[in-house]
Amino acid sequence: MSMSNVYDDCNVAIHDYYADNDSQFPLTQLGVTEDYNLNPAALIGVDTTYFSDQFLKDLSLDHIYSTNFESIYRVDDDNFFQLHAIRCGYNLTGDSLSVMNKQKIYFLGEVDSVLNVLNNDFYFLKESGRNYENRLELISNICSSFSKSARDLIPVCTNILQSKVVPTIIKSIFDSVVVDNHCVREMTYPEMEQLFVHFVSTLEKLVIQRVMRCWDNFCYENKGFLSSISVVDYSNPFALEFDYNGVAVFGVTHPAAFMYNFGECISLMAGTKIGNIVSDFIVKCSDTLKNMCSYKCSDICKYSSDSYADIREFRNKLDKLIKGVFDREIIDSSLKYNLSDFLSKLIIWNNQNMGIEVIEKVRLSTVESIVDYAYNSLSSFIREDLYDIVSVYYLKILEGSKYTPKWVVDLGSIEHRWGIKLHPRDSHGISSIRRKYSSKSKVIIRNKMLKMLKEKYEFSDGTTISMSKWSDIVKKLFPIIREAVNNLIDDERLEISKILSNVRIIENTEIFDDHYSGTREATSWEKDSVFHTASKNIDIQTRELSRKLWVGLLKKLKSSEHEECVDLNDDVDSAVEDNGSLVPALLDKSKLPVVTSVLASAGYLPLDSKINYKIISKWGLNIYPDDEKLILFIRRKFSGLIRSSFCKLFSDMLELGAVLPSGKELQVCSWGIVSRELSDVAIKSVESIVEDQYTDLEIILSRFRIVDIDVSNNSSCTVRAITDDEKSMVMIRAKKFISKSLICSARMSWLFVVNNKSNSVGVHPRLKGKNIKLRSAAPISGIKLRYSDNYDISKSSNEFLSEASSIIRDKFSGMLKNKYKFSDGTTIGRFSWNKLYPKLIPIAKEEINNIFEDEIKKLEGIISESRVLVDYVNYCIVDRELTDEEKSYVFRDVIKRLNEDLRRLFSVSWRDITSYGSYHVDAAYFSKDVVDKPSASSIDEINFGEEYAENRDYNPKINLYYEDNCLILKIRDKFMREKVDAVRNKFIEMLTNKYTFDDNTVIDKLPWKQLSKKLLIVARDEVSAIEKKERVAINNILLRSRVIDFRDDGYANAVRDITSEERSSFLISIMKRISRISRCAFRKAWDSLISSQ
């Protein structure tokens, strides 16, 4: 079509389009003085006054929610939105117009799906049980019922529009260019906003059109009855309901293109633009703040005479630093001016006519609201990062080491802790979050304990809380404590997940520079692994923290009983340390006085007025508490290195099948079997590390302080330097502790290595539970590579399979959805893998060909640097480089195994996609028009032949509707939870009361195999009533279920109601399967119960 013809058609349409009556237009444009407050800069080359009048009319709620649809009668035309552009003096490009039309089609499909209930489920005349003698009352109730249903569904459609369509349209418009006088130019913002508002308001009006179409269908289907009611005009049910009942038509306050934000109702596009401006500003401020914080901390570490006090003072003033930088950047970046200029171009929706002075005030208040929002966002975004920076430098000061700008990290300890070589900054970030929330949890837990003791809390079993041992009360008390801190734990996990979104892994330690060199982004599997470990640590530490607080609380309460009655209301919060803050400032160790006498009551030292017997019993001296922490810090630092060394040693010995001094070959076994011989070997291998640890301890001990309490005057104490004899005594005890910890570290390292060996190395997460194991940990081509080389090959293969899995699943899903046709003319269907794999495998391989070639190159690089194990002499690995021939053998074997894994991955992906629950059923499938010709792509059958191959009772010919299957699964899940809870409670009751079985044996914590026959009888009796309810619920669903019959080619042939025979057979089969699953669930409940007690 020529451009002139397009203009002619558009001019005719525009004339019809702008022929509506006047209405109220509650729109304002900030800073504009025209009658309708519309910025003329957006209307270059057009009749501004004429367009502004009509534009405001189109955006009025009266127009959008009007039942007069003449203005959008050509909306199905692909050039409909081009009319608006031409009226504005420019033309949209084909790409922009295509995106808008695709989103329009997608949205209308979703709307039809939502409104389908008005077509199929609105049977007022059938559902009504009353006989209406008054026809006016009857038509009033019909309109009221329809209007209520429509008012409930229209917000659902609006939500789809705002959440799924609007973001895509906003991005498309921001990226769009237009054609103006045969030249390509960018759109001005007013043009963008007017186009956006026009598009959204048009779709919003189409929702009302679709609703009225449903009403017309209803009237047509019941025209015989409704024609007898001629006294009223029932063409508009909403107007009729308003006349009779006075109910507002839709109750909408503003169009869907607008939202209330920053105190005003602005367009969603404007909100996105403001968000981008604020986000860029926050990132700029954050970079500035981080640099300033690092420079300041560096200067304190280098040049401050009292670095402890100065860095604590700087930390307390971080909020002032944030505010100062924010205010300076506001001025330097002219943010307020830019926002004010931007707001002058916006369309503001309001229900009042505003003068120029009021408009200016609104603009200023909106700017201030945005600036406040930017500051609050920056403060919450950057505060923890700044605290982490300060904490890093503070730890350097605490170590007493000379300042160095590089990170002092123990990569071996990090790898042992997380199972992967996590970047030190990320590891520290997770740890800082744990410390922060541990401090908050400590306050909540202690307050909860004190409150329960004060109120004499009564547990569910009727017993009252008392000052009992932790082991006696933990089972009752800890669940209550866990619930009290549950919200904190959820927040902590959320913060950890945010850190993990950008976490990095160290690949090459030789080029690692503490920043990005030698690192890569973590895979999804690695992020999940770290998150799982962190979550497990949270639970363990919460339980341990609760134990320590309970024990400490009991000691304090019992020690005070002989002096005075303790008031549990006193200083509950102050009784807990603020572990989230930095450790109190220490005395300058470089200028330690020989003797310093102070009053403990003066609060100068963080000491109790009594002697610390715990420290004395451990070290033989009353060491200054903060000094003792330095010993623990050194031990923790070197213990990581030792465990890392042990893990590597044990892995290498297992790889080579090392021979122990007794002549036995080392194999995977329990620690007790090899502990005597392996401990000596392990300790000997870390002698150099232990010596370095002793050296560091001697350096720290020389600066220790001893606290002497004056027995005669309990309120004063003396702080002095440690003597040489005292230092030797502490050193002897420290060496004993280290020697004992070496045995423990060796045992833990052995268990860690054995567990990793037991699990198949390289099992891809998507293949877990699919009986697929990658064999990359086994010797390749008879050549024993180093453990690290095998691990690198396996890890690389896993990463490739993860990426390939996502691509293949998307490809297979798209082929099914689009009814892909093979080269032989056949169409894809939901057939078994054995039938289709000759056709699918070539397509899948072609789809991943590019990443497969990249993986081959990556594996070639790994294999070229690999080394082969030769011998194991004096507990040391002997290896050599691979020859070219060996490299060829290894590479060929690796590629062969990778191809086998790919074939299994293709098979698993296909089965997952074609099995139950993989697709969403199109709502159009359920309409009456397609019952005789259902689409196979919109049906989700249960493939009993594959999914439930072990269940011979299922009838593979029965294919229920997707909706019916979902309802049955929900019912099963609901009743399964009830049954498991009931059985678990019954088991607990039986164990508590020492239940006696019919054979006079008493229940005990024995394995399930020994008690299963007896316990199953009890469990069945306990859940019999629940199973009866479950059977009735499933039967009720089956009574109204529908069955899909398929042809031999895999496509649906017809849809029909389920027969009574099929329903009976299906119900029996389901209940048999439920019975088998229940037995498994009861076993797991018993195993979990006896393992936790």
Q: How does pLDDT run across 985-1010, given as a tens digit for each residue?
A: 888 888 888 888 888 888 888 888 88
HEC string of 409-434? CCHHHHHHHHCCCECHHHHHHHHHHH
The answer to whether 140 touches 245, Cβ cutoff 8 Å, is yes
Q: State yes or no: pLDDT of 465 exceeds 60.
A: yes
* DSSP, residue by residue, 44-93: TTS-HHHHHHHHHHHHSHHHHT-S--GGGTTTTSTTHHHHHHHHTT-EE-
Identity of the residue numbered 1045:
D
Same domain, 451 and 563: yes
Q: What is the domain count for the chain? A: 6
Instruction: Read off the tokens for 399.
Output: 């170590």
pLDDT (tens digit, 9 = 90+) per residue, 641-680? Answer: 888 788 878 877 777 677 777 777 777 777 777 878 888 8
Q: What is the mean pLDDT of the chain?
A: 73
- Which residue is listed with tokens 């009993």? 944
d(CA 211, CA 323): 52
Question: What would the pLDDT profile of 678-731 be if each residue is shown by its tens digit?
Answer: 888 888 888 888 888 888 888 888 878 888 776 555 545 677 888 888 888 888
pLDDT at 530 exceeding the cut of 60: yes
| Burial class, 554, CB count within 10 angstroms (exposed 0-12 / middle 13-18 / buried 19+) | middle
Domain identity same for 417 and 560: yes
> Based on the domain organization, do 337 and 355 belong to the same domain?
yes
Spatial distance between the Cα atoms of 741 and 681, rounded to a whole number of angstroms: 15
252 and 269 belong to one structural domain: no
The residue among 743, 758, 773 that closes a domain is: 758
Q: Which amino acid is at 410?
A: D
What does DSSP assign to residue 870? E
What is the arithmetic mean of pLDDT over 30-35?
32
**Residue among 882, 886, 891 at smallest CA distance from 860:** 891
Residue 940's pLDDT is: 33
Final residue before a domain boundary, out of 226, 256, 286: 256
75: tokens are 């909306």
Half-sphere exposure of 756 (CA within 13 A, CB side): 18
Q: Is the pLDDT of residue 734 over 70?
A: yes
Largest CA distance in the chain: 113
Residue 827 bridge partners (DSSP): 821
CA distance 417 to 7: 70
Task: State yes or no: pLDDT of 435 exceeds 80.
Answer: yes
Dihedral sign (CA 612, 616, 619, 620): positive
The whole-number average pLDDT for the span 961-987 is 84
Whether residues 234 and 269 share a domain: the answer is no
3-state secondary structure of 642: helix
Query: How many beta carbons lie within 10 A of that of residue 672, not counting itself?
Result: 8
The CA-based dihedral angle spanning residues 1065, 1068, 1074, 1080, taken in that order and rounded to the nearest 10 degrees: -110
Shared-domain flag, residues 563 and 488: yes
Residue 8's pLDDT is 39
pLDDT of 400 strictly over 80? no
Co-location of 520 and 630 in the same domain = no
Using the predicted structure, report yes or no on whether residue 1014 has a pLDDT greater than 80. yes
DSSP states of 98-142 as a string?
HHHHHHHHHHHHHHHHHTHHHHHT--HHHH-----S-HHHHHHHH
Spatial contact of 339 and 274, defined as CB atoms under 8 Å apart: yes
Nearest Cα neighbor of 682 from 707, 714, 649 is: 649
| Comparison of pLDDT for 318 and 925, the residue scoring more | 318
Give the tokens for residue 351.
Answer: 């229900």
Mean pLDDT for the stretch of residues 797-823: 86
705 and 751 together in one domain: yes
pLDDT digits (tens, 9 = 90+) for 755-775: 665 443 333 333 333 333 333
The residue-averaged pLDDT of 839-858 equals 90
> DSSP characters for 912-956?
HHHSTTSSPPPGGGGSGGGSSS--GGG-----HHHHTTT-TTS-T
Task: Quote the pLDDT of residue 760.
Answer: 35
Give percent of the chain above pLDDT 90.
Answer: 0
Domain that holds residue 470: 406-582
Q: Kindly state whether residues 251 and 202 are assigned to the same domain.
A: yes
Give residue 744's identity as a one-letter amino acid code.
C
Please state at what angle helix 189-221 crosses helix 166-174, rounded to 10 degrees: 150
Picking from 103, 262, 254, the residue whose alpha carbon sits closest to that of residue 171 is 103
- Which pLDDT does position 22 carry in this prediction? 35
pLDDT in tens, 1034-1068: 988 888 887 766 554 444 456 677 888 888 888 88
Q: For residue 503, give the H/E element and its range.
A: none
Dihedral, CA atoms, 571, 573, 577, 578, nearest 10 degrees? -140
Q: Are residues 167 and 296 in the same domain?
A: no
- List, for residues 60-88, the tens digit of each pLDDT value: 665 666 655 555 556 667 777 888 888 88
Domain end, chosen from 371, 399, 427, is at: 399
Mean pLDDT along residues 217-230: 72
Q: CA distances (Å), 407 to each of 16, 433, 513, in order?
A: 72, 19, 9
Give the pLDDT of residue 230: 61
**If you compute the radius of gyration of the chain from its CA atoms, what whole number of angstroms results?**
37
Question: Coil, helix or strand for 465?
Answer: coil
pLDDT tens per residue, range 867-881: 887 665 554 556 788
Mean per-residue pLDDT for 613-638?
Answer: 76
Which of helix, strand or coil describes residue 184? strand
Residue 188 near residue 42, CB atoms below 8 Å = yes
Is residue 603 left, alpha or beta, with left meaning phi > 0 and alpha meaning psi from -120 to 50? left
Distances (CA, A) of 203 to 105, 110, 505: 10, 12, 47
Q: Where are the alpha helices (H) located in 585-714, listed in sequence order? A: 613-619, 625-656, 671-685, 687-701
- Residues 410 and 395 both lie in one domain: no
Higher pLDDT, 129 or 890: 890
Model confidence at 945, pLDDT cuts 50, 70, 90, reads very low
- What pLDDT digit, counting tens, does each position of 153-172 carry? 888 888 888 888 989 988 88
452-466, 613-627, 909-923: which is most confident: 452-466
Q: Residue 936 — very low, low, confident or very high, per pLDDT cuts 50/70/90? A: very low
- Continuous segment of H or E residues that includes residue 309: helix 307-316
The yes-or-no verdict on residue 506 having pLDDT over 70 is yes
Above pLDDT 70, what percent of the chain? 70
Same domain (yes/no): 84, 222: yes
**Dist CA 734 CA 386 (whole Å):** 36
Please tell me the distance from the alpha carbon of residue 904 to that of residue 433, in angstroms, as a whole number: 41
Residue 796 near residue 862 (C-beta atoms within 8 A)? yes
> In angstroms, rounded to a whole number, what is the distance separating the alpha carbons of residues 355 and 665?
93
> Pick from 1005, 977, 1008, 972: which is nearest to 1084 by CA?
1008
